[in-house]
Each structure stands twice: as C-alpha cells, then as structure tokens.
Homo-oligomer: A and B are copies of this chain.
Amino acid sequence: MGSGMTMNPRSQDRSALEQEQFLKILSREDALARFEAALFPRTIPSEARKLADALGAALAEDVTAPIDVPPFDRSNVDGFAVRSADVVAAGEGAPVRLALNGETIHCGTAPTLQVAAGSATAIATGGPLPRGADAVVMVEHTQPAGSDAIEVRRATSPGQFVSYAGSDIARGEALLRVGTIIGSREIGMLAACGIAEVNVARKPRVAVISTGDELVQPGRPLTPAAIYDTNGAIVAAAIDENGGEAIFLGAIPDDEAKLEAAMRNALADADMLVLSGGTSKGTGDLSHRIIGRLGQPGIIAHGVALKPGKPLCLAVCDGKPVVILPGFPTSAMFTFHDTIVPVLRRMAGLPPRSDAKVNATVPVRIASELGRTEFVMVSLVEGRGRDGLIAYPSGKGSGAITSFAQADGFLRIDALADQMPAGTEAEVTLFTPHVRVPDLVIVGSHCTGLDLVTAQLAHAGLTVRSIAVGSLGGLAAARRGECDLAPIHLFDDRSEAYNTPYLVEGLELVPGWRRMQGIVFRKGDKRFEGLGAKDAVAAALADRACIMVNRNQGAGTRILIDRLLGGARPEGYWNQPRSHNAVAAAVAQHRADWGMTIAPVAHAVGLGFIPLAEEHYDFALVTARKDRPAVRAFLDALASNEARAALERAGFRPA
C-alpha cells in the first residue's frame, strides 16, 4: 500500500530496486538500541497543569508535602473532647461527671476555651482538639447530666478517637515521585496537601502522515482501486493512548515535492513524525529518500529483521524521531507497539508499559521465516478441562487490520526457528491487562446470519468469539474440544447430504439455516438474463471472452460448480477465492462475469441471481459443552422468533 511502485522492467528503476534489497537488515534489538541511543538521554519538557486537568499526565518532578495532613489533631467522631486522666476509670457502673465548657467545636471553627480538669467540650467529627484535651468520648457513650454537664460511661485512653497532625501525610515527606501517572488517587493526595497545580511532562506532539495515492479518508466515497486510510486513524489513536498528542495531517500523494514540504512542516511543529505507507522498497518509495535531507543523523535503520514489520524505517532528524511504518495495518500497528511506543512513552515522561503475559498452547503448527523474529497475533480460548488456554494464530496475515485488532495478544517465534510445532506451550503477551476468555467460542465457517443470532447473546452481556477458519478447520477444532460450536456447510458427494456425514463421536448436529446458492452475474448482462442455471453455465462456456470466478477446493459450493461444469475448465477456473463475498466482488468489479454465491450476498451488491440449490449451514455442537450457560443461551437464541425473523429478513431460511 502506498508503494507507488513503477514496475517497469524497461526503466532503470528496476536495477535501483534490486540494489536496495542488499541494504543491510538490522536485527530488531540492534535497530532499537541504535534508535534509542540517538534519542536519549534528553530533557522532558514540562508544563504547569491545574489539578483538574492533570488526570493521566506524568509528574515532571518529585512533589514534597508542604503541610501536615490533617493540619491539626482532629476528632474522628461526634462527641466530647476530654482529658483522658479524668475518665480513664469511667464505666457503666462508675459514670464520671464532666462540666461542659461554653463552646461547641464545629468543623472549621477553632476552639477558644481550654479543657481544664473535670471539664469537656462538645466537638464534631473533624473538629480540632482544644488545648488541654487529649482524647474524645463518643456522644453515644455519654448521657446529659443537667443542662451543662455530661456523664461519661466508658473508659477512655489517651489519644482515643484523635487523628494527630501529620498522621496521614507528614509535612516534608516525599508525596509523589517524578514519572508518576496522575490518577484520581494521586489527585486526592495532592488536593489533601492543598496543591492546586503540578508540573507535568508535556505530551509529545506527534505528527502523523499517511502516504499513498490510493488512500481515501473514512467518510468519503471509495473510488475504484482505492482503499480507506486505516493506518492514519489507528496510529493517531494509539499515539493518544500512549501519552502523545497526535496531529493527523491526512494522506499525502506520492509526489516528492509535496511530501517533502509536508514532512518539513510537520517536523517544524511537532516533536516526532510518523509516516505510514510508502515503506515498500519499490522505486516509488519517496519518504525515506526525503528523510536523508531533513536532518542529522538521518536514517538509523531501514529494514529490520522483524515479522510483521520488516520494511520499518527508523530515523532521527536533528533530535526528532522520524518513523516510517510498514503499510500493512497489522505490520504498522505491531511495529508501532513494539518499537515506537517505548520511545514515545519515554519522551512523554511515562514509565515503560507493563504488558501482561499468559501461557497458552498452540493448537496448530505455525511456520516461520528463519532469520527474522516473528510475532504471531493470536486469539485465546479456553482449552478442554485443565488444559488451560489455547492460542489460535490469526490466519489473515499482516495485510489484515483484523489480525491485529481482533487478537488478544501475540507470541514470539525466535529468529533462529523455522516453525512452532503444534502443541507448543508459548508465552502470549496480552494487548489488554486481563485475559478475556470469551463465554462462547465458535470456530468454523462464518455467515452474516450467525451475527444475527449471537446479537442476542452480546446484548445480554455474553462475549462471543467467532474464529473463521472454514468448515473443516472448525470440525477439527470441535474434535479437539477447543470450541463450543463449529458452523459447517459441508456437502458429502457420495451420500448427497450436508454436514451429518462429517460428524464424529462427541459431536452432534444443531440445524442452522438454509442459504440459497445460485449463479451471479452483473444485471444487464444479456448472456445470462432470464436463463436457468444450467443454461446460464452453457452460455458462459459458449463465450470464450466470458470469465468465471470459482471457489476454493473443499467448499460445498465448489462441488456444485464442478458438477455444473461437468469437467470443463473455462477461463477463471483457477481464480479460487475462499468466500461468498469475494465471488460477488469479483463479478461486481468485472474481474469475472459469473460465479456462484449465496442470495443475500448477491443482493447486497446488486448482482443478478439465478437460484440453484440450498446450502445447509448447521452447527457441530461439542456434546461435552452442551450444558454451558452460553451454549444454552445460543441454542435459545437460535430457536427464538426474534432470530428466525431476522434471518428471514436477511434472506436465510431457518431450518
């Protein structure tokens, strides 16, 4: 994304490209060490902040308590200030009469009379102890004795119900240390000492620029071949989450002069510059060339042995960090967290982030590239019995935003390993402080109808995790006891039945709904309008210019297609996406002219649809998990009128 590559083998660009590939790739640790060495130590700028505005800021200096808290010896109860020597032997059977002094000590009123022997002064909770008194008797332990005296009926020791001056916070003690993040508790301690303003580290201003001609900002219409700028928004938000103040400057096209001007302006105004996109080593990659002109020492590392994140570029220009993140969203975000957050937090005067870690078992083998530290995004689910947690690797890769955004954390595969075998117990670094094991785990094929059913659970406060690995992957997970339900739509060619032939012991079928499969084409395409399915396929096969889009091996829809084709291999047969949505997109966007998908998907993008046969979308339920509350809630939701109506509205037919 944003590489803007000119892949013309006739030009000199190609050799430049190949030359660049020999640039030295640094190890992750080397790159970070060099980056930090070029940036630190440095002065953390600070600013005065009113207490009410200081929440979340980091203290820029130690704070010493300027006063004692409480500032005076304070009564902790409503009662009477006394001399303990007068009432040390008082009791129910031996009441001691004390004359009342002619004042009542409220909160905020200073006492004026001394408590002499044989006397007492009424005092409210929080009132300052008068001269002469050394203890307080609770009002409940006294009786009025005439109009100007009380009887004390409880023995009283020195200091009883008194909080002495400085017993909470002592004048001169270190109240808070530099670097402390100010939360409500810190605000309480500062307020108690009367401190209304504190010096806090000024948030580093971080300019964010997206690069790439293909980027459209969210909220605007998407043009053909364009994509929405994901990295700009997510990087800006992650900067705010980690103590910085993001200034998002939008997407700049791949124009050297414009980009250089934008980068210079950003750096003049900000403490740090982060670019995303434009990190391919293609010849159109401008940003890293520009960096060389922006200040010393310039590029520290361009290419880091890190996956995801290899094309990361770290630079320092006249003391300010400049970073080019990889263009792929998960690469960008992982790299940002791994390499930029530590620097940003340090510049913000914050302590290092403390990441929570848990151990989890990897259910499948994970391949890894030798020579690069690889970080694998994983989702956590509860294992069977006492097996602990299971860490599912995201199958979507670093080009997908959901690989990062829906993961619970990541595990690390060493640069010297070429795989992590299935069954490995790995340490998972969490993205959030707690493991949030979902209440219901669904692993298999995904359907938008499923969201309509699980909505009821989500709104009742249950967490549902749906991991899309296809029907066969779901069945395998169900057999291993790693999920509650596996949604499947598997057609058995021999028995001509859906799903049931695939069940094994320990699994049972829960009927879901039917999805009408059919042939899709662009409305107005005369080759298909008005035809039945068989005639439509015959028409397609008759036209050599007509291109199909197929489905992946193993998909139930693929079996139907192959039957219709009867051995023919028309143009587009090898275009084999893995989802109904991808088939519809291929036809809608003219990459293909026909294919097979389900009715709701066809209708959503406005394609013509020739119905053919219903697909059965059912659930393989792990019998041992049948009585879990979330499973019951799912089965109830599935059977509810509400869900059935919603499924029908969306074009599905509940079983």
Q: How far is the CA of A236 from the CA of B51 in the complex (A)?
A: 11
Q: Is the CB of B132 within 8 A of A547?
A: yes
Q: How far is the CA of A431 from the CA of B132 in the complex (A)?
A: 41
| Nearest chain B residue, comparing its CB with the CB of A237 | B184
Q: How far is the CA of A173 from the CA of B451 in the complex (A)?
A: 7
Of A9, A74, A190, A284, most buried by chain B (CB within 10 Å of CB) is A9
Q: Give the residues in chain B near A84, CB-CB below 8 Å.
A: 574
Q: How far is the CA of A296 from the CA of B233 in the complex (A)?
A: 46
- Interface residue A560 (Cβ < 8 Å from any Cβ of B): no
Q: Is the CB of B234 within 8 A of A184?
A: yes
Among B111, B158, B231, contact of A574 (Cβ-Cβ < 8 Å): B158
The size of the chain A interface, using a CB distance under 8 A, is 176
Q: Give the residues in chain B near A55, CB-CB below 8 Å.
A: 237, 240-241
Residues of A130-165 at the interface with B, using a CB-CB cut-off of 8 Å, are: 130-135, 139-140, 144, 147-148, 150, 158-159, 163-165
Per assembly, the copies of the chain total: 2
Q: Give the residues in chain B near A171, CB-CB below 8 Å.
A: 581, 601, 604-605
Stretch from A28-36, A211-219, A607-615 contacting the other chain: A211-219
- Interface residue A425 (Cβ < 8 Å from any Cβ of B): no
Q: Is the CB of B600 within 8 A of A172?
A: yes
Q: Give the residues in chain B near A165, CB-CB below 8 Å.
A: 577, 581-582, 585-586, 589
With A72-B585, A132-B571 as given contacts, are A604 and B172 in contact (CB-CB < 8 Å)?
yes
Q: Give the residues in chain B near A107, CB-CB below 8 Å.
A: 1-4, 212-214, 225
Q: How far is the CA of A158 from the CA of B591 in the complex (A)?
A: 15
- Interface residue A68 (Cβ < 8 Å from any Cβ of B): yes
Q: Is the CB of A110 within 8 A of B224?
A: yes
Q: How far is the CA of A105 from the CA of B282 in the complex (A)?
A: 13
| Nearest chain B residue, comparing its CB with the CB of A62 | B455
Q: Is the CB of A188 within 8 A of B585?
A: no
- Encode A64-92 as 1/0 by CB contact (under 8 A) with B: 10011111111010111001110000000
With A104-B6, A165-B581, A219-B197 as given contacts, are A52 and B248 in contact (CB-CB < 8 Å)?
yes
Q: Is the CB of B218 within 8 A of A110?
A: no
Q: Is the CB of A168 within 8 A of B225?
A: no
Stretch from A38-46, A400-408, A473-481, A530-538 contacting the other chain: A400-408
Q: Is the CB of A225 within 8 A of B1?
A: no
A-B contact pairs, 5 of them (CB 8 A): A7-B80, A73-B577, A165-B582, A168-B400, A185-B234
